[in-house]
Amino acid sequence: MQIKNDKIQLFEDQPIRTAWVEDEGEWYFSIVDVVGALTEQPDFDGSRNYWKVLKNRLKDEGNQLVTNCNQLKMRSPKDGKKYNTDVANTEQLLRIIQSIPSKKAEPFKLWLAQVGRERIEEVIDPELTIERALETYVKKGYSREWINQRLQAIQVRKELTDEWEKRGVKKGIEYAILTDEISKAWSGMTTREYKNLKGLKKENLRDNMSTLELVLNMLAEATTTEISKQKQSETFEENRKVAIEGGEAAGEARIAVEKRTGKPVITSKNAAQLHDIVTGLLESDISDDEA
């Protein structure tokens, strides 16, 4: 199955890991997360154990539902690594819910319908994705100026990943390597080092950048895209060198800004310290944003 994007979605403040499978045109949901939300388990292990018992019971009853369930790689909330995770589409999930006594069953069914409807609407009109992202950032407390830059940064990143795809760069590890090269060239740190500086774990780095950090990172990625279009790199090593060049251009701009302002551009402050952000930052909905 080809996963177009995976993201955390919230049901009554409970995180549900989801993945949009492009070739099937539908969402898949982490069954463990759904079980946790419906049964109000105290932790991830409790949800996993509940599903294990329920799954065995359904198997013993000869229920084909369990047999038909798929697995997708999803990031674990415990250690952040990706593991094969039991998932179900909307139809399968509705049948699983019938086996779980919960007062939240009906509200969850309504939530499922809304998730599916919004995705279909976004496929028809992609601008809705941007509008919903804007609404989310406004609700979280970000300034309008910052939001405008963030939405532009999303577009710049998309143009870069489209260019990488044309050049044969593989999604996942190769995207991550090139992103780190860009980051090191302009900021002096890999993405992980940058996140550590800001005290981040799973949160999106760009959502925790100042406006100036965001602009320089955007400059680095936009420059990388333009250089790549000119050089039309054919190998991964050539793409790596282009990524360094693009990052270095923004690095030079950073040094110039710091010389004129007399203070460093890079800050250890995260979003909660930079903006009036409400508790509980959401992870990014952009799948390749930090790949």
pTM over 0.85: no
User: DSSP letter at 147?
Assistant: H
* pLDDT value of position 62: 77
pLDDT of residue 12: 81
CA atoms within 13 A on the CB side of 255: 9
Report how far residue 111's alpha carbon sits from residue 84's, in angstroms, rounded to the nearest whole number: 25
What pLDDT shows up at residue 119? 54
Cα 87 to Cα 16: distance, rounded to the nearest angstrom:
11
In this structure, what DSSP letter does residue 277 have? P
Tokens representing 178 are: 């090139």
How many Cα neighbours within 13 Å face the side chain of 110?
A: 4
CA distance 270 to 267: 8
Domain boundaries, given as residue ranges, for the chain: 3-124, 127-274
The tokens of 41 are what? 């388990």
Q: How long, in residues, is the chain? A: 291
Quote the pLDDT of residue 284.
Answer: 41
Chain centroid to CA 5: 8
pLDDT tens, per residue, the chain with 291 residues: 545 556 788 888 788 898 877 667 778 889 999 999 998 887 888 888 999 998 888 888 877 777 677 888 888 887 778 888 999 888 788 888 888 888 888 888 878 777 765 554 454 444 555 666 777 777 778 888 888 888 888 889 989 999 999 999 988 889 999 999 999 999 999 999 999 999 988 788 998 999 999 999 999 999 999 999 999 988 999 999 999 999 999 999 999 999 999 999 999 998 888 876 544 444 444 333 444
